[in-house]
Amino acid sequence: MFHLNLSNSDVRVHALASGSSGNAFLVQAGATNLLLDAGLSQRVLASHLARFGVGAAGLEAILLTHEHVDHSGSAGAMSRRATAPVVANAATLQAASQRSEQAFATSELPTGAERGFGCIGVRSFPVPHDAAEPVGYVLEVGSQRIVYCTDVGSVTPEVRSALQGATLAIVEANHDLAWLLRGPYTPEMKERVASPTGHLSNADCADLLAHRLIEGGPLTVWLAHLSRVNNSPSLARRSVLAQIAAQTTAPFALEIALRDHPSVSWRPGSKAVQTSLTFE
């Protein structure tokens, strides 16, 4: 994709929130600001963006993975506020627009297509989830490759391929299967979460990451979209680290993208900064 000459210090990624109550990530490269998902209220999201120097007109675009409200809830409102288009494939844009009472600017990015936004190159890839046409994103700035892959029911060749060469991988570790099966969800909800179009378990996330690490290359991992009921940051960290260690000794860094508030930030070549250590 794109190979623009920016120094590592010009690239930053911030987890604004990650979980079923709302998802949003900010990618900054030079003067370009991209929002990945907009599942928080407009007021809260605007406050989080301001924390990282992004004002009312500071967004280049809002990229949606799919139309579920915890990823798209304020996309239209943020688009109107920032005069930035909501970017997704046609099926997701249609589904998201049906949730909004007011029109907002859109720009279609077909699944698998590539496009430049400012100095960031973006490519989407299909993921298995129970939405209209869900995707993940690969973002490239110079030699840096950031992969955003959440709400993924199972690991597919497209998901594995997207992680090749990643320097930062934001990957779902939604639930511990044993916690899910003995927990309070209805049988129908348990079946949905554990299905191939539901959410990725800690074990499946660990296997995906181990496969990527065995291929080699530096990697920072953020575990994302942890369930409040069927997982915890400490359990996810412990189980993913143990399962990876059983398969490879390749070095990597691992952090947790927490729910409801900004929690971790990253620059290439430096350790991620965990701004909140309040684990559930």
Alpha carbon of residue 246 to chain centroid = 26
In this prediction, residue 10 carries a pLDDT of 87
Quote the tokens at residue 224: 């994302």
In this prediction, residue 277 carries a pLDDT of 43
Strand partners, 178: none
In this prediction, residue 271 carries a pLDDT of 56
Average pLDDT of the residues of the chain:
92
Angle, vertex CA 179, rays to CA 249 and CA 210, nearest 5: 20
Distance CA 121, CA 133 (A): 21
**Tens-digit pLDDT profile for residues 128-163:** 999 999 999 999 998 999 999 999 999 999 999 999
In this prediction, residue 280 carries a pLDDT of 40
* Nearest by Cα to 46 from 80, 20, 19, 88: 80
In this prediction, residue 7 carries a pLDDT of 56
In this prediction, residue 102 carries a pLDDT of 85
3-state SS, residue 257: coil
Distances (CA, A) of 194 to 19, 110, 135, 257: 16, 28, 19, 21
In this prediction, residue 8 carries a pLDDT of 62
* Entry pTM: 0.93
The domain defined by 11-265 folds into Metallo-beta-lactamase; Chain A (3.60.15)
Give domain limits for the chain.
11-265
In this prediction, residue 56 carries a pLDDT of 79
In the predicted model, residues of the chain with pLDDT beneath 70 are 1-9, 270-280
In this prediction, residue 216 carries a pLDDT of 85
Is 119 within 8 Å of 73 (Cβ atoms)?
no
Angle between helices 233-245 and 202-215 (to 10 degrees): 40
